[in-house]
Amino acid sequence: MKQKSLNLIVIFACFLVFIGFRLYPYLGSEVPLGYDPGLYLYGFKSFPFVNPWLKMMFPPGLFAFVKTIPIDPTYLVIPLILFFSALLFISLYLFVNRLFGKKAALWAVFLLTCSLVQYRVFYWYYLKNIAALAFLFFTFYSLLKKSYWAV
């Protein structure tokens, strides 16, 4: 019982630090940092696209969907990044826990939380890559459980 509560405290602390590193760049500014959020924000604001390079780079589905929502797109980029980052944290923990056990899962999320990549990731913030990694780990987790969700 004591070990289980300690594991929960460690996971919760790692999660808070992980999300804290994601939120830190936005404390003084609403402008999303990095290459990918800037392009998404530009796409949200300039849809329907007039620039041919933007038409080639992004499929219009997401931007058309965002145009139907009555919220300013500036407020959507940061929650999307936080949501998919949290999803990555959870999916990594579940996958490594299923494959190698709790101790390895704790180490995996700890290393994700305090790795050098974590400190530098907000400069780039490739939202599609963060989302893809989260779904990839969920798919592997589902495959290990022999779930139909992985198909």
Q: Is residue 19 part of a domain?
A: yes
**Residue 30, token pair as written in the block:** 């609403």
Show the domain range for 14: 2-31+74-150
Q: Is residue 15 part of a domain?
A: yes
- Regarding pTM above 0.85, the answer is no
How far is 31 from 11, CA to CA, in rounded Å? Answer: 30
- What is the tally of structural domains in the chain? 1
Beta strands, E only, the chain: none
User: Tens digit of pLDDT for each residue in 81-138?
Assistant: 889 889 999 999 999 999 999 999 999 999 888 877 666 655 556 777 888 889 999 9
Q: Is residue 113 part of a domain?
A: yes
What 3-state class would DSSP assign to 14? Answer: helix
How far is 35 from 124, CA to CA, in rounded Å? Answer: 5
C-alpha dihedral over 8, 108, 98, 82, to 10 degrees?
Answer: 70
- CB-based contacts of 125, cutoff 8 Å, min separation 6: 32, 33, 34, 35, 36, 37, 81
Q: Is residue 38 part of a domain?
A: no
Q: Is residue 104 part of a domain?
A: yes
Q: Is residue 61 part of a domain?
A: no
